[in-house]
């Protein structure tokens, strides 16, 4: 398919577009599209491609959602799932406890028996989609924002429950367009998932934090799991096969995955809230935590291993949010947003009916964010980054929530989600005390830093001790390390909570009222107003721009598309592809920096590797965090690559897409095959991957 029809047409289209105004160029391949309404017109006009219903269904049912926050795809007839190493990383750490160090050494299962069962990994495949907007909104037209929100919550719970009972699937109502539409998604749910192949972290995350979100890159950021059903490899109805040819510069690719969160519909005032309140404070937390985790990590090799996931997660978020923040300080984007909003608002006000229906939305959102700013800092009361505290809090809340009807509960305790929650809560995954102490002392100190040492919640949490002493006492005293104890307390209901002397349970019970008060304040004063108002903004946008508007990302399945394409940076062209040989050159150039050290297996295989085989590439697809692990497929629906990153210039895509420099970063399928063949001699995996390749 190199230089195929789609590719050639695209190249023509771009030459014309370059001469068009920037805002049009920027939006050329924008969009995280619902699979129920792909941008047919754009694909036909620009790429001469028309996805059939069968093509769309195959892509939908070959796409996999990782409950831990990532994407994947079914790539064999025996339930093999491809994702990123960094999506799998948490699981690899959990599997590493008994003598193995999978992060350091990688893992290759040479037989079904060697495939390692994951303690608490849940995979979902989206099976059916139904528009339930009218059922969710029924009877809410005349209600206040917060009454309407409660009514919708109840409606959603009952829709999910009914659907779940009927189908046996995991049923979730998804809020789209910030509240303008609601879809019911039914997922097949898999919890017997086993590790098949992982490379060493050194090559999966080659270049570490320095190269993260940058390009050119040389990363084999891939891992394979296998879904099992009834103890046997799962035989899926659909899967995608490998392309033998890969993808060429200029060729159109599609990305199917689960982008987490975007804020494209945000009003200008809401973006300013993000710029002036949310991002700076989130960044403060991340900088703080990154330094503390560095200190913790440097104390010993054991600390380094146990904190690795947290550390990489914090670094990654810090770099992403710093990039978003820098983007929001660039007046170009903000001015473009302001102009578009002014046009839309002027159009709304031109007509009395439109003005009455939608006119207040922008000011209502501004007002809500102003209120949010006033109590935003109270979010630090939460200590849930500690597994032990989170466990205690769940137990405390389940004792309160489970006796209520499902629709009246906090949303995570609704019947539809209970099975997944219990799967996490009663996981036998190891808990590292030293790390738990570090997390808790950090969280307790942060409470004091933010609220002041005399704040009653701080005094209650510290119980007359310094943060370090208190954290040590909590972790030494709790009995929640034991899954049996958790189950016993969980089964004992409010009686078990009231009589528990476990210090972590007592702390969770003591903090819960404040945590609930914060949440209620947020839901009633902010979230419900946003829902109501964005439904209006979206309706106005549909009416003004036609309904070719895609919803903001919601960690649900979407399709993005675009060509493989180089870009310009500081006057230089950054080529679209890197080659395998480049990894060795970069390692040589950065000798002495541990992040650029290649694994021994790679050094040994150097002469076997063809240095010209493509390794990574960039393309124009509209992606964001959560898309990690998404397959890149060609128009035939064949795997040509694997999304693993976006470049720095793509980070402001959280607020607005811009393809002048922003790019999605992918592992090339040909580079994967070359590595499996030469470095890993992973014959079993290769055979399975290439079984259906023509």
CB of 451 to a second copy, least distance (A): 8
The values of phi and psi at residue 453, to 5°, are -65, -20
**By C-beta, is 19 or 589 nearer to a second copy?**
589
What does the block give as tokens for 312?
Answer: 């990489």
C-alpha–C-alpha distance, residues 407 and 424, integer Å? 22
The DSSP line for 611-677 is TTSEEEEEE-----TT-TTPEEE-TT--EEEEEEEE-GGGGGGGT---TTT--EEEEEHHHHHHHHH
C-alpha–C-alpha distance, residues 66 and 82, integer Å? 11
Instruction: Single out the segment in contact with a second copy by CB under 8 A; choices: 360-368, 388-396, 452-460, 543-551.
Output: 452-460
**By C-beta, is 162 or 291 nearer to a second copy?**
291
Please enumerate in sequence order all residues whose Cβ is within 8 A of that of 578, keeping only pairs 6 or more positions apart, or say none: 216, 217, 218, 614, 615, 616, 617
Q: Is 12 in the site for a second copy (CB under 8 A)?
A: no
Partnered with residue 181 across adjacent β-strands are 176
The DSSP line for 155-179 is HHHHHHHHHHHHH-SEEEEEEEGGG
Question: 288, 487, 521, 606: which one contacts a second copy (CB under 8 A)?
Answer: 288
Closest CA to 487 of 401, 428, 527: 428
**From residue 217 to residue 256, what is the string marking binding to a second copy with x (rule CB under 8 A)?**
----------------------------------------
Question: 295, 520, 548, 568: which one contacts a second copy (CB under 8 A)?
Answer: 295
- Helical spans, DSSP H, in 63-119: 85-95, 102-105
Question: 135, 275, 488, 681: which one contacts a second copy (CB under 8 A)?
Answer: 275
Closest CA to 449 of 473, 467, 468, 465: 467
C-alpha–C-alpha distance, residues 51 and 44, integer Å? 9
Q: Is 301 in the site for a second copy (CB under 8 A)?
A: yes
C-alpha–C-alpha distance, residues 626 and 68, integer Å? 10
Q: Within 13 Å and on the Cβ side, how many CA atoms surround 186?
A: 17
Q: What residues from 458 to 487 belong to the interface with a second copy (CB under 8 A)? A: 462, 464-469
Q: Is 280 in the site for a second copy (CB under 8 A)?
A: yes
Reply yes or no: is the peptide bond before residue 322 cis, omega within 30 of 0.
no
CB of 269 to a second copy, least distance (A): 11
C-alpha–C-alpha distance, residues 360 and 365, integer Å? 9
CB of 280 to a second copy, least distance (A): 4
Phi-psi region of 621 (alpha: psi -120 to 50; beta: other; left: phi over 0): beta
Question: 112, 449, 473, 512: which one contacts a second copy (CB under 8 A)?
Answer: 449
**By C-beta, is 462 or 666 nearer to a second copy?**
462
CB 577 within 8 A of CB 617: yes
Q: What residues from 65 to 84 belong to the interface with a second copy (CB under 8 A)? A: none
CB of 276 to a second copy, least distance (A): 4
Q: Is 445 in the site for a second copy (CB under 8 A)?
A: yes
Q: What residues from 623 to 682 belong to the interface with a second copy (CB under 8 A)? A: none
**From residue 399 to residue 438, what is the string marking binding to a second copy with x (rule CB under 8 A)?**
----------------------------------------
Question: 160, 200, 251, 290: which one contacts a second copy (CB under 8 A)?
Answer: 290
C-alpha–C-alpha distance, residues 504 and 471, integer Å? 10
Question: 169, 177, 325, 358: which one contacts a second copy (CB under 8 A)?
Answer: 325
**From residue 580 to residue 619, what is the string marking binding to a second copy with x (rule CB under 8 A)?**
------------xx-x------------------------
Question: 294, 482, 610, 661: which one contacts a second copy (CB under 8 A)?
Answer: 294
C-alpha–C-alpha distance, residues 509 and 337, integer Å? 44
Question: 152, 226, 264, 318: which one contacts a second copy (CB under 8 A)?
Answer: 318
The DSSP line for 397-438 is HHHHHTTS-GGGS-GGGSHHHHHHHHHHHT------HHHHHH
Q: Is 328 in the site for a second copy (CB under 8 A)?
A: yes
**From residue 329 to residue 348, what is the string marking binding to a second copy with x (rule CB under 8 A)?**
xxx--x--------------
Q: Is 321 in the site for a second copy (CB under 8 A)?
A: no
Question: 283, 434, 460, 483: which one contacts a second copy (CB under 8 A)?
Answer: 283
Question: 272, 481, 488, 521: which one contacts a second copy (CB under 8 A)?
Answer: 272
Helix axes 528-545, 361-375, angle to 10 degrees: 150
**What is the number of other CB atoms lying within 10 angstroms of the CB of residue 25?**
15
**By C-beta, is 323 or 490 nearer to a second copy?**
323
The helix or strand, by DSSP H or E, that contains position 203, with its residue range, turns out to be helix 201-204
Q: What residues from 352 to 381 belong to the interface with a second copy (CB under 8 A)? A: none
CB of 467 to a second copy, least distance (A): 6
CB 68 within 8 A of CB 120: no
C-alpha–C-alpha distance, residues 513 and 424, integer Å? 24
**By C-beta, is 130 or 472 nearer to a second copy?**
472
CB of 198 to a second copy, least distance (A): 23
Closest CA to 70 of 57, 56, 89, 55: 89
Question: 41, 237, 326, 683: which one contacts a second copy (CB under 8 A)?
Answer: 326
C-alpha–C-alpha distance, residues 440 and 385, integer Å? 8
**By C-beta, is 352 or 592 nearer to a second copy?**
592
CB of 453 to a second copy, least distance (A): 5
Binding site for a second copy (CB under 8 A): 208-210, 272, 275-276, 279-280, 283-284, 287-288, 290-291, 294-295, 298-299, 301, 318, 325-331, 334, 445, 448-450, 452-454, 462, 464-469, 592-593, 595
């Amino acid at each position: 398919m190199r230089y195929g029809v789609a590719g050639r047409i695209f190249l023509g289209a771009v030459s014309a577009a370059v001469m068009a105004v920037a805002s049009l160029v920027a939006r050329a391949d924008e969009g995280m599209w619902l699979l129920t309404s792909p941008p047919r017109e754009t694909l036909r006009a620009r790429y001469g491609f028309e996805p059939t219903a069968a093509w769309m269904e195959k892509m939908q049912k070959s796409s996999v959602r990782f409950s831990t926050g990532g994407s994947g795809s079914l790539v064999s007839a025996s339930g093999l799932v491809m994702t990123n190493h960094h999506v799998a990383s948490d699981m690899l750490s959990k599997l590493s406890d008994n003598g193995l160090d999978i992060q350091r050494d990688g893992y290759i299962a040479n037989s079904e028996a060697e495939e390692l069962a994951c303690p608490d990994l849940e995979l979902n495949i989206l099976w059916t989609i139904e528009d339930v907007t009218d059922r969710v909104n029924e009877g809410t037209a005349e209600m206040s924002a917060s009454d309407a929100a409660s009514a919708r919550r109840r409606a959603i719970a009952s829709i999910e429950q009914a659907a779940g009972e009927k189908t046996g699937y995991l049923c979730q109502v998804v809020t789209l367009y910030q509240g303008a539409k609601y879809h019911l998604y039914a997922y097949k749910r898999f919890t017997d998932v086993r590790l098949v192949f992982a490379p060493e972290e050194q090559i999966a995350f080659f270049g570490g934090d320095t190269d993260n979100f940058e390009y050119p890159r040389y990363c084999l950021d891939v891992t394979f799991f296998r879904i099992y059903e009834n103890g046997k490899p799962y035989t899926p109805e659909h899967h995608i096969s490998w392309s033998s040819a890969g993808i060429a510069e200029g060729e159109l690719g599609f990305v199917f995955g689960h982008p987490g969160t975007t804020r494209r519909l945000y009003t200008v005032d809401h973006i300013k809230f993000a710029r002036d309140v949310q991002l700076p404070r989130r960044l403060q937390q991340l900088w703080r935590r990154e330094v503390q985790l560095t200190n913790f990590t440097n104390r010993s090799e054991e600390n380094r291993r146990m904190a690795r996931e947290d550390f990489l997660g914090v670094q990654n978020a810090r770099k992403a949010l710093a990039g978003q923040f820098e983007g929001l300080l660039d007046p170009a984007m903000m001015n473009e947003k302001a102009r578009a909003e002014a046009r839309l608002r002027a159009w709304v006000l031109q007509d009395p009916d439109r003005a009455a229906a939608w006119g207040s939305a922008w000011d209502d959102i501004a007002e809500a964010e102003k209120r949010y700013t006033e109590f935003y800092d109270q979010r630090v009361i939460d200590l849930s980054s500690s597994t032990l505290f989170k466990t205690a809090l769940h137990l405390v809340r389940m004792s309160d929530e489970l006796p209520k009807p499902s629709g009246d509960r906090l949303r995570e305790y609704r019947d539809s989600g209970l099975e997944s929650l219990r799967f996490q809560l009663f996981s036998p995954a190891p808990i590292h005390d030293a790390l738990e102490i570090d997390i808790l002392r950090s969280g307790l100190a942060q409470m004091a830093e933010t609220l002041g040492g005399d704040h009653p919640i701080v005094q209650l949490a510290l119980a007359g001790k310094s943060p370090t002493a208190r954290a040590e006492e909590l972790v030494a005293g709790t009995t929640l390390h034991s899954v049996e104890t958790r189950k016993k307390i969980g089964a004992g209901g409010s009686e078990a909570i009231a009589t528990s002397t476990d210090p972590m349970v007592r702390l969770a019970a003591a903090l819960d009222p404040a945590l609930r008060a914060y949440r209620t304040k947020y839901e009633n004063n902010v979230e419900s107003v946003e829902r109501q108002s964005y439904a209006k903004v979206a309706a106005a946008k549909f009416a003004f721009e036609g309904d070719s508007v895609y919803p903001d990302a919601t960690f649900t399945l979407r399709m993005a598309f675009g060509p493989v394409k180089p870009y310009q940076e500081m006057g230089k062209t950054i080529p679209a592809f890197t080659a395998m040989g480049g990894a060795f050159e970069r390692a040589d150039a950065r000798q002495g920096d541990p992040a650029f050290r290649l694994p021994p297996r790679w050094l040994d295989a150097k002469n076997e590797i063809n240095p010209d085989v493509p390794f990574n590439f960039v393309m124009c697809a509209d992606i964001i965090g959560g898309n990690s692990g998404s397959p890149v497929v060609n128009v035939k629906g064949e795997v040509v690559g694997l999304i693993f990153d976006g470049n720095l210039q793509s980070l402001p895509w959280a607020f607005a897409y811009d393809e002048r420099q922003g790019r999605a970063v992918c592992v090339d399928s040909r580079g994967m095959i070359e590595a499996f063949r030469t470095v890993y001699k992973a014959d079993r995996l290769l055979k399975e991957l290439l079984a259906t390749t023509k």
